Amino acid sequence: MRKTLISTAFLLFSINAVADPLDKFKTIKGEVPGCAVAIIKGDSIVNEQYYGYSNLSYLIKNDEKTTFNIGSISKHMTAAIFFRLEQDGVFNRSDLLSKYYPTGPKWFKKITIGQLLTHESGLPDYLNDPMLSGASLAELAKDLESVLGLLEDRPIANYTIVSTVLKALKDYSKLEFEPGSEARYSNTGYLLLADIIENNSEKTFKQWLNFYILDPYEMNNTSVHNYLSRDIKWTAVAYTETKYNSGNYKGSVGKLLEIGDGGILTTIKDYSKWMIALKNSTDPESPWHGFLPNPEKDHTSEVDNLRYQNGLNIFSPDGHVYSHSGRSIDGMDSTMWIYPKQDIAYIQLCNYMDPINVNMSDIVLAYLK
């Protein structure tokens, strides 16, 4: 889910405007879930704050060790892996989807990998489209192993998710729109993109993530979620406020181990290293030079000047700003944004969704204008 107003509003602020631009987060008090937030200037974190608890059962506070599921923000890391593999000649964004799924629907011959990256494929969203999610659940119900696994509190593996979505898509006679004619946010494209990487290259998705991103930047506390994710040390629990008893929170555990459209777990310290690398990608010597692209054409959007490429929303009223927000399957909420022209970036990782839809970033914005 994209919080488009965050990025445009951030264009207005000056980092030196107030002594403590994150001061309002101090309203998070008591034994409640919370957030980790950081502002990056140059090559370092200049303001870093932690609020609330990562685990209410054991009263463990959010701190620099806390690992959050960043949900849809993971998309740009999937795109980054593809970016490097394309540079190495493994893939080409003009490749047709039918090349990798020859038994898929006939209209896979219309869709390129590049259109998966920009949400221009016309594929319905397997998480949010009622028809496709319903059809996928119906396919999943036929898989006895998966059903029994859920009864035993085992989440659904990524390959099972991909398989059921592909089977459900076969019943579709046409796409939501002609590929390339418009853009509509779809998790399905990035789910398939990671699957293509996983099954058509020399390494797994996780191995490529380590090779291109985690190992070079010493992001030792970042990983792709798996069956053991809930047991990773310092992993935050996702919480939702109970419907009928405000102030009480219920922990949630995701049942889908999706990869590509989500599923990366990280800390503020680790993710800051990656933000610095991307912010500095304007340097021709950077291995990520060209990854933060200039907008090329208008796409369907809530904001007229929004573009979406390489897993990032792109705004360009005053130099390009790159952003994304993410809600994980289990309910964590995250926001990131990079403004290379001002040499600054912002990260917000939270282990709950505000029940009245007041984004924590909105509180910060009041201080950052």
pLDDT in tens, 343-362: 888 899 999 876 434 454 45
CATH 3.40.710.10 boundaries in the chain: 1-76+205-256+263-369
pLDDT band, very low/low/confident/very high, at 295 (cuts 50, 70, 90): low
Tell me what pLDDT residue 299 has.
Answer: 45
**Between these two residues, 94 and 132, which has the higher pLDDT value?**
94
Tell me what pLDDT residue 303 has.
Answer: 41
Query: What DSSP state is assigned to residue 299?
Result: -
Tell me what pLDDT residue 23 has.
Answer: 64
Helix (H) or strand (E) run with residue 77 in it: helix 74-87
User: What residue type is assigned to position 350 of the chain?
Assistant: C
Q: What are the backbone angles phi and psi of residue 342, rounded to the nearest 5°?
A: -100, 5
155-167 pLDDT, tens digit per residue, is 777 888 888 899 8
Q: What percent of the chain has pLDDT over 90?
A: 44
pLDDT band, very low/low/confident/very high, at 83 (cuts 50, 70, 90): very high
Tell me what pLDDT residue 114 has.
Answer: 94
- CATH number attached to the domain at 1-76+205-256+263-369: 3.40.710.10
241-261 pLDDT, tens digit per residue, is 776 555 688 877 777 778 899
Contact 200, 100 (CB under 8 A): yes
Q: What are the backbone angles phi and psi of residue 115, rounded to the nearest 5°?
A: -75, -25
Q: Which of 184, 185, 175, 171 is closest to 135 using CA atoms?
A: 171
Q: What are the backbone angles phi and psi of residue 53, rounded to the nearest 5°?
A: -115, 140
- The arrangement of strands across the sheet holding 344-350 comes to 44-51, 35-41, 344-350, 333-339, 321-327, 312-315, 307-309
Contact 276, 40 (CB under 8 A): yes
Q: Which of 120, 90, 114, 303 is closest to 198 using CA atoms?
A: 90
- Which range is most confident: 103-112, 173-182, 336-345? 103-112
